Amino acid sequence: MNDPFKQADAPRKVLVADDDAEGRLDAWLTSVLAGEFSRSRIKALIEQGAVLHRGAICTEPKKKVAPGDRVEIVLPEPEDPVPKGEDIPLEVLYEDADVIVIAKQAGLVVHPGAGNWTGTLVNALIHHCGDSLSGIGGVRRPGIVHRLDKDTSGVLVAAKNDIAHRHLAAQFADHGRTGPLERAYQAVVWGRPKQLRGTIDAPLGRAGDRTKRAVKRADSDDAREAVTHYEVIERFHEKPDATAMAALVECQLETGRTHQIRVHMAHIGSPLVGDPDYSAGFRTKVNLLPEPAKTVVKAFHRQALHAFLLAFEHPRTGEVMEFKAPIPDDLQELIDALRV
């Protein structure tokens, strides 16, 4: 871990806990530096080794603070909260005065955030649409009503005014239960689900890593309903006992949780090929594949997931619109190699 205190020119602030100081270090620093940094930002700085507590680097946000404690913090460079337009190519499937529908490429982050302040879809949309994007999502998420993971490709719609944003957001919140919203994905998974068609109804919540998700008991504090419908479309290298090395699966979301398809497919024993977070136990299976599939799978460095279909009601006309994004070249190459 880099030591921020070895940077001679790094701006610092020295604080001394007063007589009323108590509780966790991250909470105390957040209160003392109110308005400067969020608690999550303070916590990250502590974990990065940017805080001295009682003369020693402290990486434990829950460390207790006592009256008279001396705390020194290396202050990060200020980050511009307002994203700027960037000339990033967009594959526009449809656009009018209310909405823009694009086929997002894999590798493109949807909106700015920690570690990705530039080069996002939002930066591209600002450049393409100018000031017409809806502001409801805030300065960092103008026009954004739903998301796809960075390495998931496929159809995504953004709102170009506040009325469209509210209308679309309501449809996504309803998950298509009472309206026409429909989202369908294609995924290449290891093995083959035991049932060729089924529904995975398993609540999701945070895993140990704040960016990951896991199946949780329904009565867990952070459990949120998650329902995925799936159907096996094609099986690759199927054996006489009806097992397969891999399969092409179509998934439809009834809810829209973070990493939902990725976690749900792993939960039933068929994680996505290339998934860096949820298929670690299946990486050696690539050695059982014949060529050229073995070489192609080894070179496939993202989850094999593509949002190929999105349908929604147009916020102005009420027309039900359906859009499909063709399978990107890297995923098509993977499927073709597995067919051999």
The residue among 31 and 295 whose pLDDT is bigger is: 295
Identify the weakest region by mean pLDDT among 74-88, 135-149, 291-305. Answer: 74-88
Please give the share of the chain, as a percent, with pLDDT higher than 70: 94
Spatial separation of the C-alpha atoms in residues 176 and 87, rounded to whole Å: 34
* Closest by CA position to 135, among listed 166, 157, 108: 166
What is the reported pLDDT for 141?
81
Q: What is the pLDDT of residues 187-218, one digit of tens each?
A: 999 999 999 999 999 999 988 766 799 999 99
pLDDT at residue 50 greater than cutoff 80: yes
The predicted pLDDT at position 18 comes to: 87
Higher-scoring residue by pLDDT: 18, 259: 259
Is 149 annotated as catalytic?
Answer: yes
DSSP code of residue 271: P
pLDDT of residue 80: 57
Architecture of domain 92-174: 2-Layer Sandwich (3.30)
pLDDT band at 81 (very low <50, low <70, confident <90, very high): low
38 pLDDT above the threshold of 80: no
Q: For position 222, what pLDDT does the model report?
A: 86
Query: Contact at 8 Å (CB) between 99 and 158?
Result: yes
Same fold, 92-174 and 183-339: yes
234 pLDDT more than 60: yes
Task: Provide the sign of the torsion angle of the four alpha carbons 287, 185, 147, 101, taken in this order.
Answer: positive
Rounded Cα gap, residues 279 and 277, in angstroms: 6
Domain parsing of the chain, residue ranges? 4-74, 92-174, 183-339
* Mean pLDDT calculated for residue range 124-128: 94
User: CATH homologous superfamily of domain 183-339?
Assistant: Pseudouridine synthase (3.30.2350.10)
4-74, superfamily in CATH?
Answer: RNA-binding S4 domain (3.10.290.10)
What pLDDT was estimated at residue 6? Answer: 61
d(CA 308, CA 316): 24
Instruction: Please name every residue paired with 215 in a beta bridge, in sequence order, or none if there are none.
Output: 204
pTM: 0.76
Cis bond upstream, residue 292 (ω within 30)? yes
H-helix or E-strand spanning residue 332:
helix 329-339
* Top-confidence residue, 37 or 291: 291
- Residue 294, pLDDT score: 95
Does the CA dihedral 83-84-86-89 come out positive or negative?
positive
| Amino acid found at 50 | A
Among residues 186, 148, 192, the alpha carbon closest in space to that of 334 is found at 186
Instruction: Name the active-site residue from 98, 149, 277, 330.
Output: 149
Q: What is the pLDDT, as a whole number, of residue 200?
A: 98
Q: What is the distance in angstroms between the CA of the first residue and the CA of the last residue of the chain?
A: 45
